[in-house]
Chains A and B, each alone.
Chain A
Amino acid sequence: MRARLEYVLRFGDSALVLAQRLCALVAHAPVMEEDVALANVSLDLFGQARLWLAYAGELEGAARDEDTLAFHRDAGAFRNVLLVERPNGDFAETTARGYFYDLWASLAFAELVRSKDERIAAVAEKSRKENAYHLRRSEDWVVRLGDGTEESHARMQRAVNELWRYTGELFLADDVDTAMASGGIGFAPAALREPWLERVKTTFGAAALELPVDPWMQRGGKQGVHTEALGYLLAEMQILPRTIAGAVW
Chain B
Amino acid sequence: MANSLNVMIVGVGGQGTLLASRLLGSAMIQSGYDVKVSEVHGMSQRGGSVVTYVKAGENVCSPTIEKGEADIILSFEQLEAARWLPYLKKGGKIIVNTQSIDPMPVVIGAAKYPEDVLCAIGNTGVEIISMDALKLALEAGSAKATNVVLLGAMAKYTGIDYEIFENAVKETVPAKFLDMNLQALKLGYEA
User: Do the two shown chains form a genuine complex with each other?
Assistant: no
Q: Hey, which bits of chain B sit against chain A, CB under 8 A?
A: none
Q: Hey, which bits of chain A sit against chain B, CB under 8 A?
A: none
